[in-house]
Structure 1
Amino acid sequence: MADEYVILGASEFIKDRLYFTTLRTKPKTTANTHYFSTDDELLYENFYADFGPLNLGMLYRYCCKLNKKLRSFTHSRKRVIHYTSYDQRKRTNAAVLIGAYSVIYLKRSPEEAYRTLISGNNTAYLPFRDAALGDCTYNLTILDCLQGIRKALQYGFFNFETFDVEEYEHYERVENGDMNWIIPGKILAFSGPHPKSKIENGYPLHAPEAYFLYFQEHDVTAVVRLNRKIYDGQRFTDGGFEHHDLFFVDGTTPSDLITRRFLHVGSGSYGDSDSKQHSMWVQGDMHRTKQKQQQRRQRPKLDQENNYRECLTQGDKLRDLKGRRSSRSATSSRLNLTKTSQTSITPPKSSKLSQVPVPFSSSSAPKRLVQSSSSSASNLKSPFSLSMFSSKATAIH
């Protein structure tokens, strides 16, 4: 009877099979019903008042878990119920997980998935907010998240059949570059470089040169700096990369002019033929070889370096907070490009757990646009590498 009462107030994603509900107490699995929760397993690491949504790696792990439960012989005759608590933040994150699962694997539209989430006895969900200090000027709803996932599937921005979760989580760490492919082969986000590579109070800082090898291996041709100047952009130019400054204040929306210039860089309109890029890289290598020691000794220090701690921006503070977390502590200022017991940077392989095909468009897309990344070994490959993209990229931070 208790199970039937829970079912009556639950959101039904698969009839007589998969449900989502909110409960005040932890239920016990019965002969007919299997309960599970991810509230204390998949946790968001907040900066300030932000609480989600969970990242792509956590969504992938959730989908693997749920697929395994639905395929399990033990649960084959049971109703599987994902339950969450009345903690509004955890509840909203849990709703995004199962809603995204239904969009990816059950082929539901974002609107259908959202209508299911608000059915039954489920009350309204808390909207997400940004990681900035102070009041949030806009909200991000569950429906917004589901629509974003659907759009990413439509254009092939991610594919869980080839997704390498260990590699994703490896490069998400500050000590490994704090980078993430936003659009495969097109936009790579990374934490802004600093004047020199070092460990400062346990917080890893990476110089521009630390990223050169990774950029070359992934055909990155340009770097776009969106935040204030901390390092000398000429160092990227000397390395054979175009460098562009498109500054706008942290937490604000870029102007139309900056947006157009950004798209101009990303489309390759500045000229990025293979011969030109190879020539730039060769010149950069020669320049670094001749001036490796001279650059460090004679390069005038930037005013921003002298006043670094006195003029931290909001973005700097967020990166600093992320880098100081105990689980992300670093012992070296070099980017870690080697595979550990938990991380790797190998070409993507099909998941052993996630075997349900994920639909995505194979339509062609323009050249790569990368935000920022880290260095890598000679045979490294982006965790989101797809043949549908061309061989050039731009990096922004």
Structure 2
Amino acid sequence: MGTDFQMRTRSAIERYSGALVELSHSIHAEPELAFAEHRSAAKVANLLAGEGFEVERGVADLETAFTATYGSGDLVLGLCAEYDALPEVGHACGHNVIAAASTGAALALRDVADELGLTVRVIGTPAEEVGGGKVLMLERGVFDDVSLSMMVHPAPYEAIAAASLAITDVEVRYTGKPSHAAAAPHLGVNAADAITVAQVAIGLARQHLEPGQMVSGIVTKGGTVPNVVPASTTAMFDLRAEDLESLTRLEERINRCFEAGALATGCTHEVVKISPVYAELTPDPWLADAYRRAAAELGRTALSPEQERGRRIGSTDMGNVTRALPAIHPTIAIDCGDAVNHQIEFATACASASADRAVLDGALALAWTTISVARDDAQRDRLVGGAA
């Protein structure tokens, strides 16, 4: 892998360890939601700007997106930094760890970029939890010249090439007619009943969904007061499937459930997509193998490829990146007890000593994976040629 390069990048991570842990904790302490991550994006961008990276803010017409670039080599590395949080539970998906690890990898590679023919770019990607920041940035050209892309995500377990589920987020809106719920209920058209019918239809449909298809949802508006027949209601649903093709079939089926609610009650309805569609992860096999070797050298024990095939890691807009260019999205284990992502206990674990170690190990594993690519002529030709 290039022992000298490994040693130099390890030294860089050790040198910046305090700043990287501080960055992770600072983002964790001030959680911000999708497209509103102004402080978090600035913390990452400002640190990189102070270390000689050329920072462009507000890229792709997104206020909280940025790029930070160093070097001019033909092999362009895109390190994705996520930093959005979740409502109520904060950084229960550990995006503070992601942002700090990508920043650390960039700083470690900066000093060897010229020798390896690298352009190192941190891509600040907002709104992963909802909103599809990476999808929008892909569509608007931010990844056009990127040869390969990587990031590392905290989780209860270490997985290198685990699959994710494709997802679409939709909102269904029913419109009925208000009336007095006691004096003249027969004159009302109950939009809450429409949601109930749709939920029952979805519940019955679950028995017959294809393997890997999932539906989850919440009612976001169910009425105002109980003595008025609800005339306007809304609900949000996540539809997931093993791949985009299966997701399309699922969406058609669930749309019929929404239609059933309207038909049964006499309401009108509309279905609105609230995020871009997220594709399933398709990690690059060579990059995944290189990362697996790097993680093992750091003493981390990952699931075997056979074990990974039986797991799904939710959904991510990084899936769209992996379908557009060679990329990986490994997970890195932190000590979180019985907690899993999106639980408050996991949020607490993402500012622990174990999470701090994940920041530093993750940064180094990403850096060593990049070194492997840069020093392999065949892979370099493949990646540079694909981005040209």
TM-score (norm 1): 0.24
Structure with the larger strand share? 2
TM-score (norm 2): 0.25
Structure with the larger helix share? 2
